[in-house]
Amino acid sequence: MNNEKETISKEEAAATLKSVDLTKRDAIKSFRIPLLLITLISLSYSLIVFSWGMTEHENMWALGMYIGVAGLLIFTALYVYTFRLLGIKVNIKPMTKENVRFELVHAVIFTVILIAGRQVRLLGFEFAPHIAALIAGGYLAYLLYKYPTGEYITMDKNHD
């Protein structure tokens, strides 16, 4: 690398940024989280949703929520650590407008699923927490597989 300061043109800078962006996309596309880790994270979140839907006052389902939260924290830490070992930084806090919008939409979806599972059960449909947990776990598994770094990246249609 040359330590001399050189000025580069606008076109060269744009080409360099595009190259870095394409390299980042290729790295993310080529590596996926191990399916066991995706499964464990999704099952932990499903346990939280299911236990929340089944709790009444202070019964044993609250213990299920605590176990689910502990599992979610442990497996998420392993997820971040796995990427860290590969040199890929997982964004905990969204940096761009698209990522903020992406995160907010999914936070609302997961919140609606969590609350709906419990409220529908209280209205008389006993299997609502089961269905809510299945939907939440499946959707989280899909998101972890499709967006492994938690970042919404638009993929070019013509880029292989």
What percentage of the chain has pLDDT greater than the value 70? 82
Q: At what angle do helices 35-54 and 61-85 cross, to 10 degrees?
A: 160
- Mean residue pLDDT of the chain comes to 82
Average pLDDT for residues 23-41, to the nearest whole number? 76
Sign of CA dihedral 119, 123, 125, 127: positive
140-158 pLDDT tens trace = 999 988 887 666 555 544 4
76-116 pLDDT tens trace = 999 888 888 877 777 777 788 888 888 899 999 999 999 99
